[in-house]
Structure 1
Amino acid sequence: MADLWTAGVAYEVYMGRWSARIADAFVRLLAVPSGRSWLDVGCGTGALTAAVLARAEPSRVTGVDPAEGFLAHARTRVTDPRVTFYSGGARSLPVPDGSFDAVVSGLMLNFVPEPEQAVAECVRAAAPGGTVAAYVWDYAEGMALLRHFWDAAAAGDPAAAPLDEGRRFPLCRPEPLADLWTRAGLSAVTVRPVEAVAVFTDFADLWTPFLGGQGPAPGHVATLSIADRDALRDRLHDALPVAADGSITLPARAWAVSGVRPS
Protein backbone atom coordinates (compact mmCIF):
# COMPACT_ATOMS: atom_id res chain seq x y z
CA MET A 1 0.00 0.00 0.00
CA ALA A 2 1.50 3.34 -1.08
CA ASP A 3 1.21 6.34 1.22
CA LEU A 4 -1.04 8.96 -0.38
CA TRP A 5 -0.17 12.65 -0.15
CA THR A 6 -2.29 14.65 -2.58
CA ALA A 7 -5.24 16.40 -0.95
CA GLY A 8 -4.30 19.37 1.21
CA VAL A 9 -7.67 19.85 2.88
CA ALA A 10 -7.98 16.17 3.84
CA TYR A 11 -4.45 16.16 5.24
CA GLU A 12 -5.13 19.26 7.31
CA VAL A 13 -8.26 17.68 8.79
CA TYR A 14 -6.21 14.59 9.69
CA MET A 15 -2.91 16.09 10.88
CA GLY A 16 -3.29 19.87 10.93
CA ARG A 17 -4.07 20.25 14.62
CA TRP A 18 -0.80 18.50 15.40
CA SER A 19 1.47 19.88 12.69
CA ALA A 20 0.83 23.55 13.48
CA ARG A 21 1.64 23.10 17.19
CA ILE A 22 4.77 21.05 16.54
CA ALA A 23 6.00 23.46 13.83
CA ASP A 24 5.66 26.41 16.17
CA ALA A 25 7.58 24.65 18.95
CA PHE A 26 10.28 23.57 16.49
CA VAL A 27 10.91 27.09 15.19
CA ARG A 28 11.14 28.44 18.74
CA LEU A 29 13.57 25.64 19.62
CA LEU A 30 15.92 26.50 16.74
CA ALA A 31 16.11 30.17 17.75
CA VAL A 32 17.45 31.31 14.36
CA PRO A 33 18.07 35.09 14.47
CA SER A 34 15.65 37.37 12.63
CA GLY A 35 16.30 38.57 9.11
CA ARG A 36 17.53 35.21 7.85
CA SER A 37 16.53 33.27 4.74
CA TRP A 38 14.76 29.92 5.17
CA LEU A 39 14.11 26.89 2.96
CA ASP A 40 11.24 24.59 3.93
CA VAL A 41 11.86 21.19 2.30
CA GLY A 42 8.74 19.09 1.89
CA CYS A 43 6.67 22.09 2.92
CA GLY A 44 3.37 20.24 2.44
CA THR A 45 0.37 22.37 3.33
CA GLY A 46 2.51 25.16 4.77
CA ALA A 47 2.40 24.58 8.54
CA LEU A 48 6.15 25.02 9.05
CA THR A 49 6.36 27.93 6.61
CA ALA A 50 3.58 29.69 8.53
CA ALA A 51 5.38 29.05 11.83
CA VAL A 52 8.63 30.51 10.45
CA LEU A 53 6.77 33.66 9.41
CA ALA A 54 5.04 33.95 12.78
CA ARG A 55 8.05 33.26 14.97
CA ALA A 56 11.35 33.90 13.15
CA GLU A 57 10.94 37.24 11.33
CA PRO A 58 12.63 35.86 8.20
CA SER A 59 13.85 37.90 5.24
CA ARG A 60 12.37 35.29 2.89
CA VAL A 61 11.04 31.75 2.94
CA THR A 62 11.05 29.25 0.08
CA GLY A 63 8.86 26.16 0.27
CA VAL A 64 9.43 23.08 -1.90
CA ASP A 65 7.12 20.07 -2.21
CA PRO A 66 6.34 17.51 -4.96
CA ALA A 67 2.59 17.35 -4.22
CA GLU A 68 0.69 19.95 -6.24
CA GLY A 69 -2.42 19.48 -4.09
CA PHE A 70 -0.43 20.36 -0.97
CA LEU A 71 1.24 23.33 -2.66
CA ALA A 72 -2.14 24.70 -3.72
CA HIS A 73 -3.28 24.58 -0.10
CA ALA A 74 -0.02 26.17 1.10
CA ARG A 75 -0.34 29.06 -1.37
CA THR A 76 -3.83 29.76 -0.06
CA ARG A 77 -2.74 29.47 3.55
CA VAL A 78 0.42 31.61 3.29
CA THR A 79 0.18 34.75 1.17
CA ASP A 80 3.03 36.81 2.62
CA PRO A 81 5.15 38.37 -0.18
CA ARG A 82 8.32 37.04 1.44
CA VAL A 83 7.22 33.48 0.64
CA THR A 84 7.64 31.57 -2.62
CA PHE A 85 6.55 27.98 -3.22
CA TYR A 86 8.07 25.67 -5.83
CA SER A 87 7.32 22.15 -7.01
CA GLY A 88 10.24 19.81 -6.40
CA GLY A 89 11.54 16.80 -4.55
CA ALA A 90 13.80 16.64 -1.50
CA ARG A 91 16.45 14.63 -3.35
CA SER A 92 16.91 17.28 -6.04
CA LEU A 93 16.07 20.70 -4.67
CA PRO A 94 15.48 23.46 -7.25
CA VAL A 95 17.68 25.99 -5.41
CA PRO A 96 21.26 27.25 -5.75
CA ASP A 97 24.12 26.03 -3.55
CA GLY A 98 24.61 27.76 -0.21
CA SER A 99 21.64 30.08 -0.62
CA PHE A 100 19.79 29.77 2.73
CA ASP A 101 20.66 30.53 6.34
CA ALA A 102 18.27 27.86 7.63
CA VAL A 103 17.17 24.72 5.79
CA VAL A 104 14.39 22.87 7.59
CA SER A 105 11.95 20.04 7.06
CA GLY A 106 8.87 18.98 8.99
CA LEU A 107 7.33 15.50 9.25
CA MET A 108 8.71 14.46 5.87
CA LEU A 109 12.16 12.92 6.04
CA ASN A 110 11.09 9.35 6.82
CA PHE A 111 8.89 9.25 3.70
CA VAL A 112 11.81 9.93 1.33
CA PRO A 113 13.16 6.69 -0.23
CA GLU A 114 16.77 7.89 0.15
CA PRO A 115 16.95 10.14 3.24
CA GLU A 116 20.73 10.40 2.94
CA GLN A 117 20.34 12.11 -0.43
CA ALA A 118 17.67 14.42 0.95
CA VAL A 119 19.92 15.51 3.82
CA ALA A 120 22.84 15.97 1.42
CA GLU A 121 20.64 18.29 -0.65
CA CYS A 122 19.68 20.24 2.48
CA VAL A 123 23.35 20.67 3.35
CA ARG A 124 24.10 21.80 -0.22
CA ALA A 125 21.37 24.44 -0.01
CA ALA A 126 22.59 25.79 3.34
CA ALA A 127 25.09 28.62 3.54
CA PRO A 128 28.33 27.97 5.47
CA GLY A 129 27.46 28.35 9.12
CA GLY A 130 23.77 27.83 8.33
CA THR A 131 21.36 25.63 10.26
CA VAL A 132 20.09 22.34 8.84
CA ALA A 133 17.24 20.86 10.89
CA ALA A 134 14.23 18.56 10.68
CA TYR A 135 11.64 16.91 12.86
CA VAL A 136 9.79 13.60 12.56
CA TRP A 137 7.11 11.97 14.67
CA ASP A 138 8.18 9.55 17.37
CA TYR A 139 5.91 6.92 15.85
CA ALA A 140 7.09 4.07 18.08
CA GLU A 141 6.26 5.64 21.43
CA GLY A 142 5.47 9.34 21.36
CA MET A 143 2.60 9.85 18.88
CA ALA A 144 -0.33 8.63 20.98
CA LEU A 145 -2.98 8.96 18.28
CA LEU A 146 -1.16 6.63 15.90
CA ARG A 147 0.03 4.32 18.64
CA HIS A 148 -3.58 3.68 19.66
CA PHE A 149 -4.67 3.37 16.04
CA TRP A 150 -2.10 0.76 14.97
CA ASP A 151 -2.47 -1.26 18.18
CA ALA A 152 -6.22 -1.42 17.48
CA ALA A 153 -5.64 -2.29 13.82
CA ALA A 154 -3.21 -5.12 14.63
CA ALA A 155 -5.51 -6.49 17.33
CA GLY A 156 -8.17 -7.11 14.70
CA ASP A 157 -5.85 -8.11 11.85
CA PRO A 158 -2.22 -9.13 12.54
CA ALA A 159 -1.47 -8.43 8.87
CA ALA A 160 -1.83 -4.72 9.66
CA ALA A 161 1.13 -4.77 12.07
CA PRO A 162 3.83 -4.26 9.38
CA LEU A 163 2.02 -1.09 8.23
CA ASP A 164 2.59 0.55 11.63
CA GLU A 165 4.79 3.64 11.18
CA GLY A 166 6.55 2.72 14.41
CA ARG A 167 7.87 -0.38 12.65
CA ARG A 168 8.21 1.06 9.14
CA PHE A 169 10.33 4.06 10.08
CA PRO A 170 13.29 3.16 12.32
CA LEU A 171 14.83 6.50 11.34
CA CYS A 172 12.35 8.27 13.66
CA ARG A 173 14.48 7.84 16.77
CA PRO A 174 17.23 9.99 18.30
CA GLU A 175 20.23 7.77 17.52
CA PRO A 176 19.54 7.18 13.79
CA LEU A 177 18.72 10.86 13.29
CA ALA A 178 21.93 12.00 14.98
CA ASP A 179 23.93 9.50 12.92
CA LEU A 180 22.32 10.69 9.68
CA TRP A 181 23.15 14.33 10.41
CA THR A 182 26.71 13.51 11.51
CA ARG A 183 27.41 11.43 8.39
CA ALA A 184 26.18 14.36 6.29
CA GLY A 185 29.14 16.37 7.59
CA LEU A 186 27.20 18.67 9.90
CA SER A 187 28.66 19.90 13.16
CA ALA A 188 27.08 20.66 16.55
CA VAL A 189 24.48 17.94 15.95
CA THR A 190 21.73 17.73 18.56
CA VAL A 191 18.46 15.77 18.85
CA ARG A 192 15.74 17.10 21.12
CA PRO A 193 12.08 16.26 21.76
CA VAL A 194 9.33 18.60 20.61
CA GLU A 195 5.98 18.00 22.28
CA ALA A 196 2.39 19.10 21.89
CA VAL A 197 -1.08 18.13 23.13
CA ALA A 198 -4.33 18.06 21.15
CA VAL A 199 -7.87 17.86 22.48
CA PHE A 200 -10.63 16.20 20.45
CA THR A 201 -14.14 17.30 21.33
CA ASP A 202 -15.43 13.73 21.03
CA PHE A 203 -14.65 10.45 19.30
CA ALA A 204 -16.22 11.56 16.01
CA ASP A 205 -13.81 14.50 15.96
CA LEU A 206 -10.92 12.02 16.27
CA TRP A 207 -12.22 9.29 13.94
CA THR A 208 -13.52 11.30 10.99
CA PRO A 209 -10.05 12.42 9.82
CA PHE A 210 -9.07 8.77 9.39
CA LEU A 211 -11.62 8.59 6.57
CA GLY A 212 -9.79 11.11 4.37
CA GLY A 213 -7.26 8.73 2.83
CA GLN A 214 -4.17 10.92 3.36
CA GLY A 215 -1.20 9.14 4.95
CA PRO A 216 -0.54 5.57 6.09
CA ALA A 217 -3.27 5.15 8.72
CA PRO A 218 -6.14 6.71 6.70
CA GLY A 219 -4.81 4.84 3.67
CA HIS A 220 -5.19 1.59 5.58
CA VAL A 221 -8.75 2.48 6.60
CA ALA A 222 -9.59 3.09 2.93
CA THR A 223 -8.68 -0.52 2.07
CA LEU A 224 -11.07 -2.05 4.63
CA SER A 225 -14.58 -3.35 4.10
CA ILE A 226 -17.34 -1.45 5.88
CA ALA A 227 -17.62 -4.19 8.51
CA ASP A 228 -13.87 -4.26 9.18
CA ARG A 229 -13.67 -0.48 9.25
CA ASP A 230 -16.48 -0.29 11.82
CA ALA A 231 -14.83 -3.00 13.93
CA LEU A 232 -11.54 -1.05 13.90
CA ARG A 233 -13.41 2.12 14.84
CA ASP A 234 -14.99 0.38 17.84
CA ARG A 235 -11.69 -1.13 19.03
CA LEU A 236 -10.01 2.25 18.80
CA HIS A 237 -12.81 3.92 20.74
CA ASP A 238 -12.57 1.36 23.51
CA ALA A 239 -8.79 1.89 23.84
CA LEU A 240 -8.86 5.68 24.14
CA PRO A 241 -8.86 7.79 27.33
CA VAL A 242 -12.33 9.33 26.94
CA ALA A 243 -13.16 11.96 29.57
CA ALA A 244 -16.54 12.27 31.27
CA ASP A 245 -17.56 15.02 28.83
CA GLY A 246 -16.60 12.84 25.87
CA SER A 247 -13.42 14.73 25.01
CA ILE A 248 -10.14 12.96 24.31
CA THR A 249 -6.76 14.50 25.13
CA LEU A 250 -3.69 12.98 23.49
CA PRO A 251 0.00 13.96 23.62
CA ALA A 252 2.36 13.89 20.68
CA ARG A 253 6.14 13.93 20.52
CA ALA A 254 8.44 14.55 17.60
CA TRP A 255 12.22 14.31 17.47
CA ALA A 256 13.99 17.42 16.20
CA VAL A 257 17.53 17.07 14.83
CA SER A 258 19.71 20.05 13.98
CA GLY A 259 23.25 20.77 12.91
CA VAL A 260 25.44 23.44 11.35
CA ARG A 261 27.06 23.40 7.93
CA PRO A 262 30.75 23.91 8.64
CA SER A 263 32.36 27.11 7.38
Structure 2
Amino acid sequence: MALEFIRRLDVPDGHGWRDIGCGTGAVTRAVLDGASPAQVVGVDPSESYVRYARQNVTDSRAHFVRGDAMRLPFPDGGASVAVSGLVLNFVPVPERAVAEMSRIVRAGGTVAAYLWDYTQGGMELIRYFWEAAVSLDPDCREQDEAVRFPLCEPGPLGELLKSAGLAGVKVDEISVPTRFRHFDDYWTPFLGGQGPAPSYLASLPQKRQNALRKRLRAHVPTEADGSIALTARAWSGRGVRPSHD
Protein backbone atom coordinates (compact mmCIF):
# COMPACT_ATOMS: atom_id res chain seq x y z
CA MET A 1 0.00 0.00 0.00
CA ALA A 2 2.69 2.53 1.00
CA LEU A 3 4.81 1.78 -2.08
CA GLU A 4 1.84 2.21 -4.42
CA PHE A 5 0.98 5.50 -2.69
CA ILE A 6 4.52 6.79 -3.22
CA ARG A 7 4.78 5.63 -6.82
CA ARG A 8 1.53 7.37 -7.75
CA LEU A 9 2.94 10.71 -6.62
CA ASP A 10 5.44 10.43 -9.49
CA VAL A 11 8.01 12.74 -7.89
CA PRO A 12 11.29 13.06 -9.87
CA ASP A 13 14.50 11.66 -8.39
CA GLY A 14 16.69 13.62 -6.03
CA HIS A 15 14.17 15.54 -3.93
CA GLY A 16 13.90 16.03 -0.17
CA TRP A 17 10.98 14.28 1.55
CA ARG A 18 9.37 14.50 5.01
CA ASP A 19 7.41 11.56 6.43
CA ILE A 20 4.93 12.86 9.01
CA GLY A 21 3.94 10.35 11.70
CA CYS A 22 6.57 7.93 10.43
CA GLY A 23 5.97 5.25 13.08
CA THR A 24 8.31 2.34 12.45
CA GLY A 25 9.38 3.75 9.10
CA ALA A 26 7.15 1.91 6.60
CA VAL A 27 6.41 4.97 4.46
CA THR A 28 10.03 6.12 4.65
CA ARG A 29 11.09 2.71 3.29
CA ALA A 30 8.57 3.08 0.49
CA VAL A 31 10.00 6.51 -0.40
CA LEU A 32 13.50 5.03 -0.50
CA ASP A 33 12.38 2.11 -2.64
CA GLY A 34 9.99 3.92 -4.96
CA ALA A 35 11.14 7.51 -5.37
CA SER A 36 14.97 7.76 -5.33
CA PRO A 37 15.02 10.71 -2.90
CA ALA A 38 18.02 12.79 -1.94
CA GLN A 39 16.88 12.55 1.68
CA VAL A 40 13.90 11.46 3.76
CA VAL A 41 13.33 12.73 7.29
CA GLY A 42 10.68 10.92 9.33
CA VAL A 43 9.11 12.53 12.37
CA ASP A 44 7.03 10.88 15.09
CA PRO A 45 6.05 11.83 18.65
CA SER A 46 6.95 8.37 19.97
CA GLU A 47 10.55 7.94 21.07
CA SER A 48 10.21 4.15 20.82
CA TYR A 49 9.04 4.37 17.20
CA VAL A 50 11.82 6.79 16.30
CA ARG A 51 14.38 4.49 17.93
CA TYR A 52 12.99 1.45 16.09
CA ALA A 53 13.01 3.27 12.76
CA ARG A 54 16.61 4.37 13.26
CA GLN A 55 17.66 0.80 13.98
CA ASN A 56 15.74 -0.80 11.11
CA VAL A 57 15.89 1.72 8.27
CA THR A 58 19.63 1.97 7.78
CA ASP A 59 19.81 3.73 4.41
CA SER A 60 22.10 6.78 4.81
CA ARG A 61 19.48 8.97 3.13
CA ALA A 62 16.97 8.33 5.94
CA HIS A 63 16.89 10.22 9.23
CA PHE A 64 14.37 10.18 12.06
CA VAL A 65 13.50 12.80 14.65
CA ARG A 66 10.95 13.13 17.39
CA GLY A 67 8.25 15.75 16.90
CA ASP A 68 4.58 16.68 16.85
CA ALA A 69 2.66 16.65 13.54
CA MET A 70 0.92 19.87 14.61
CA ARG A 71 4.27 21.63 15.32
CA LEU A 72 6.74 20.16 12.90
CA PRO A 73 10.45 20.73 13.72
CA PHE A 74 11.32 21.84 10.18
CA PRO A 75 11.88 25.25 8.57
CA ASP A 76 9.51 26.82 6.07
CA GLY A 77 9.88 25.56 2.52
CA GLY A 78 12.78 23.22 3.23
CA ALA A 79 11.40 20.10 1.51
CA SER A 80 9.90 19.19 -1.83
CA VAL A 81 7.41 16.61 -0.55
CA ALA A 82 5.60 15.98 2.73
CA VAL A 83 3.69 12.74 3.10
CA SER A 84 1.72 10.99 5.83
CA GLY A 85 0.50 7.40 5.90
CA LEU A 86 -2.44 6.19 8.03
CA VAL A 87 -1.90 8.94 10.59
CA LEU A 88 -4.01 12.08 10.10
CA ASN A 89 -7.19 10.55 11.55
CA PHE A 90 -5.34 10.08 14.85
CA VAL A 91 -4.04 13.66 15.04
CA PRO A 92 -6.16 15.76 17.47
CA VAL A 93 -6.42 18.66 15.00
CA PRO A 94 -5.63 17.28 11.52
CA GLU A 95 -6.10 20.74 9.96
CA ARG A 96 -3.03 21.93 11.86
CA ALA A 97 -1.01 18.95 10.71
CA VAL A 98 -1.85 19.54 7.04
CA ALA A 99 -1.15 23.27 7.41
CA GLU A 100 2.24 22.36 8.86
CA MET A 101 2.92 19.94 6.02
CA SER A 102 2.14 22.73 3.56
CA ARG A 103 4.38 25.15 5.45
CA ILE A 104 7.46 22.94 5.27
CA VAL A 105 7.35 22.31 1.50
CA ARG A 106 8.56 24.78 -1.10
CA ALA A 107 6.20 26.55 -3.48
CA GLY A 108 5.11 23.95 -5.99
CA GLY A 109 5.91 21.16 -3.54
CA THR A 110 3.61 18.22 -2.91
CA VAL A 111 1.61 17.41 0.21
CA ALA A 112 -0.01 13.96 0.26
CA ALA A 113 -1.60 11.52 2.68
CA TYR A 114 -3.47 8.25 2.64
CA LEU A 115 -5.98 6.79 5.10
CA TRP A 116 -7.75 3.47 5.38
CA ASP A 117 -11.36 3.45 4.23
CA TYR A 118 -13.28 1.99 7.18
CA THR A 119 -16.70 2.07 5.50
CA GLN A 120 -18.55 -0.87 3.98
CA GLY A 121 -16.43 -2.42 1.24
CA GLY A 122 -13.27 -0.63 2.37
CA MET A 123 -10.95 -2.13 4.98
CA GLU A 124 -12.77 -5.47 4.98
CA LEU A 125 -10.77 -7.21 7.67
CA ILE A 126 -11.81 -4.46 10.13
CA ARG A 127 -15.35 -4.23 8.75
CA TYR A 128 -16.14 -7.88 9.45
CA PHE A 129 -14.73 -7.54 12.96
CA TRP A 130 -16.99 -4.63 13.89
CA GLU A 131 -20.08 -6.15 12.28
CA ALA A 132 -19.59 -9.21 14.47
CA ALA A 133 -18.78 -7.14 17.56
CA VAL A 134 -21.81 -4.87 17.20
CA SER A 135 -24.11 -7.85 16.67
CA LEU A 136 -23.08 -9.07 20.13
CA ASP A 137 -22.63 -5.68 21.82
CA PRO A 138 -24.52 -2.76 20.19
CA ASP A 139 -22.93 -0.34 22.67
CA CYS A 140 -19.51 -0.82 21.07
CA ARG A 141 -20.59 0.85 17.82
CA GLU A 142 -19.00 4.17 18.86
CA GLN A 143 -15.58 2.47 18.93
CA ASP A 144 -15.85 1.42 15.29
CA GLU A 145 -13.33 3.33 13.14
CA ALA A 146 -16.08 4.04 10.59
CA VAL A 147 -17.86 6.04 13.29
CA ARG A 148 -14.79 7.50 15.00
CA PHE A 149 -12.96 8.64 11.87
CA PRO A 150 -15.27 10.40 9.37
CA LEU A 151 -12.12 11.94 7.88
CA CYS A 152 -11.33 8.59 6.21
CA GLU A 153 -13.53 9.18 3.17
CA PRO A 154 -12.82 10.93 -0.15
CA GLY A 155 -14.85 14.09 0.48
CA PRO A 156 -13.53 14.91 3.97
CA LEU A 157 -9.95 14.06 3.01
CA GLY A 158 -10.12 16.34 -0.01
CA GLU A 159 -11.61 19.17 2.04
CA LEU A 160 -8.89 18.74 4.65
CA LEU A 161 -6.18 19.26 2.03
CA LYS A 162 -8.00 22.25 0.58
CA SER A 163 -8.24 23.78 4.06
CA ALA A 164 -4.44 24.21 3.98
CA GLY A 165 -4.69 26.25 0.79
CA LEU A 166 -3.34 23.47 -1.42
CA ALA A 167 -4.05 23.63 -5.13
CA GLY A 168 -4.98 20.85 -7.55
CA VAL A 169 -6.29 18.61 -4.78
CA LYS A 170 -7.06 15.09 -5.97
CA VAL A 171 -8.23 11.99 -4.07
CA ASP A 172 -7.78 8.49 -5.51
CA GLU A 173 -8.56 4.96 -4.40
CA ILE A 174 -5.85 2.41 -3.67
CA SER A 175 -7.01 -1.18 -3.18
CA VAL A 176 -4.86 -4.19 -2.38
CA PRO A 177 -5.78 -7.83 -1.73
CA THR A 178 -5.36 -9.12 1.82
CA ARG A 179 -5.32 -12.90 1.90
CA PHE A 180 -5.09 -15.00 5.05
CA ARG A 181 -4.08 -18.66 5.06
CA HIS A 182 -6.73 -19.61 7.60
CA PHE A 183 -8.91 -18.06 10.28
CA ASP A 184 -6.20 -17.97 12.95
CA ASP A 185 -3.98 -16.06 10.52
CA TYR A 186 -6.80 -13.50 10.25
CA TRP A 187 -7.62 -13.45 13.98
CA THR A 188 -4.11 -13.18 15.45
CA PRO A 189 -3.51 -9.48 14.59
CA PHE A 190 -6.54 -8.55 16.70
CA LEU A 191 -4.74 -9.97 19.76
CA GLY A 192 -2.04 -7.29 19.62
CA GLY A 193 -3.90 -4.76 21.78
CA GLN A 194 -3.02 -1.73 19.60
CA GLY A 195 -5.65 0.13 17.60
CA PRO A 196 -9.40 0.46 18.23
CA ALA A 197 -10.41 -3.11 17.31
CA PRO A 198 -7.61 -4.92 19.22
CA SER A 199 -8.12 -2.57 22.19
CA TYR A 200 -11.82 -3.36 22.27
CA LEU A 201 -11.12 -7.09 22.10
CA ALA A 202 -8.56 -6.85 24.92
CA SER A 203 -11.14 -5.07 27.10
CA LEU A 204 -13.51 -8.05 26.97
CA PRO A 205 -13.48 -10.95 29.46
CA GLN A 206 -12.33 -14.23 27.95
CA LYS A 207 -15.85 -15.61 27.59
CA ARG A 208 -16.95 -12.65 25.47
CA GLN A 209 -13.72 -12.78 23.44
CA ASN A 210 -14.50 -16.40 22.63
CA ALA A 211 -18.06 -15.52 21.63
CA LEU A 212 -16.82 -12.77 19.32
CA ARG A 213 -14.26 -15.10 17.77
CA LYS A 214 -16.96 -17.70 17.12
CA ARG A 215 -19.34 -15.14 15.59
CA LEU A 216 -16.64 -13.68 13.37
CA ARG A 217 -15.47 -17.08 12.21
CA ALA A 218 -19.02 -17.93 11.17
CA HIS A 219 -19.41 -14.78 9.08
CA VAL A 220 -16.05 -13.96 7.49
CA PRO A 221 -16.00 -15.33 3.91
CA THR A 222 -13.88 -18.48 3.78
CA GLU A 223 -12.65 -20.39 0.72
CA ALA A 224 -12.86 -24.17 0.38
CA ASP A 225 -9.20 -24.50 1.44
CA GLY A 226 -9.83 -22.45 4.59
CA SER A 227 -8.18 -19.29 3.31
CA ILE A 228 -9.80 -15.87 3.59
CA ALA A 229 -9.53 -13.44 0.66
CA LEU A 230 -10.41 -9.84 1.46
CA THR A 231 -9.66 -6.37 0.12
CA ALA A 232 -8.09 -3.38 1.85
CA ARG A 233 -8.97 0.03 0.41
CA ALA A 234 -7.39 3.36 1.22
CA TRP A 235 -7.99 6.90 0.01
CA SER A 236 -4.94 8.79 -1.20
CA GLY A 237 -5.11 12.57 -1.35
CA ARG A 238 -2.60 15.05 -2.71
CA GLY A 239 -2.23 18.74 -3.44
CA VAL A 240 0.40 21.32 -4.35
CA ARG A 241 1.52 24.34 -2.36
CA PRO A 242 0.76 27.37 -4.55
CA SER A 243 3.49 29.76 -5.61
CA HIS A 244 1.70 32.54 -3.70
CA ASP A 245 -0.02 31.51 -0.43
TM-score bucket of the superposed structures, by smaller chain: over 0.9
Give the distance between the partners of 2:52 and 2:178, measured in 1 at CA: 22
Match of 2:232 in 1: 252
Question: Which has the higher mean CA deviation after the structures are superposed, 187-196 or 236-245?
Answer: 236-245
How far apart are 1:75 and its partner, in Å? 2.1
1:120 alignment partner, one of 72, 80, 99 = 99
Match of 2:23 in 1: 44
Match of 1:70 in 2: 49
Structure 1 ranges of 4+ moved more than 3 A: none
How far apart are 1:131 and its partner, in Å? 0.2
Match of 2:86 in 1: 107
Q: 1:49–1:61: 8 Å Cα contact kept in structure 2?
A: yes
Match of 1:177 in 2: 157
* Deviations, residues 96-126 of structure 1 (Å, cap 9, x unaligned): 1111101000000000110110111101111
Q: What is the RMSD computed on CA atoms of the aligned residues? A: 0.9
Flag structure 1 segments of 5+ consecutive residues without an equivalent: 1-21
- Please give the residue correspondences for 1:81-96 in structure 2 after superposition, counting only pairs within 5 Å: 81-96=60-75
Give the distance between the partners of 2:17 and 2:218, measured in 1 at CA: 44
Q: 1:25–1:195: 8 Å Cα contact kept in structure 2?
A: no
Match of 2:127 in 1: 147
Per the normalisation by structure 2, the TM-score is 0.97
How far apart are 1:161 and its partner, in Å? 0.6
Give the distance between the partners of 1:85 and 1:29, measured in 2 at CA: 24
Match of 2:59 in 1: 80
Which residue identity lines up with residue 121 of structure 1 in the other structure? E
**Identity, % of aligned pairs?**
54
Flag structure 2 segments of 5+ consecutive residues without an equivalent: none
Q: Which has the higher contact order (CA 8 A, sep 6+)?
A: 1
Match of 1:213 in 2: 193
* Deviations, residues 191-227 of structure 1 (Å, cap 9, x unaligned): 0001111211111111111111111111111100000
How far apart are 1:245 and its partner, in Å? 1.4
Give the distance between the partners of 1:70 and 1:249, measured in 2 at CA: 31
Q: Provide the secondary structure at the position in 2 that maps to 1:231.
A: helix
Give the distance between the partners of 1:76 and 1:155, measured in 2 at CA: 43
Give the distance between the partners of 1:222 and 1:165, measured in 2 at CA: 16
Q: How many residues align?
A: 242
Give the distance between the partners of 1:25 and 1:109, measured in 2 at CA: 18
Which residue identity lines up with residue 219 of structure 2 in the other structure? A
Q: Provide the secondary structure at the position in 2 that maps to 1:152.
A: helix
Give the distance between the partners of 1:249 and 1:101, measured in 2 at CA: 38
Residue 138 (structure 1) aligned with residue 113 (structure 2): no
How far apart are 1:129 and its partner, in Å? 0.6
2:147 alignment partner, one of 158, 167, 185 = 167
How far apart are 1:89 and its partner, in Å? 1.3
Give the distance between the partners of 1:213 and 1:76, measured in 2 at CA: 24
